[in-house]
Amino acid sequence: MPEEVIGKVSDFFARPVVAGIELTATLKQGDKIHIKGHTTDMELIVDSMQINNVDVKQAKAGDAIGIKVSERVRRGDIVYKVTE
């Protein structure tokens, strides 16, 4: 499946397990993303995302968002949007 780079991980919080992501493209709730880095390789569907602790359905390039992830991610990991 083709993937496009849409941002990179800027932060990680252990409780709750959340990744901070700096976007370079638009991301919507329900999109499938792939986070890949030196020791990270996971795919997930974006169930919810937040900007400044406020739930949003969509974010655009330049936004800093937080999304729940299933496991640890690392600063600098690349975020791809998976397109079917």
Burial 58-78 (b: 16+ CB within 10 A, else e): ebeeebebbbebeeebeeebe
Q: Are 67 and 19 in contact (CB under 8 A)?
A: yes
- Kindly report, residue by residue over 65-77, the tens digit of the pLDDT: 999 999 999 999 9
Mean pLDDT in the chain? 96
Q: Which residues pair with 20 in a beta bridge?
A: 11, 66
Fold assignment, 3-82: Elongation Factor Tu (Ef-tu); domain 3 (2.40.30)
Return the structure tokens found at 13.
């919080």
Query: pTM score, two decimals?
Result: 0.94
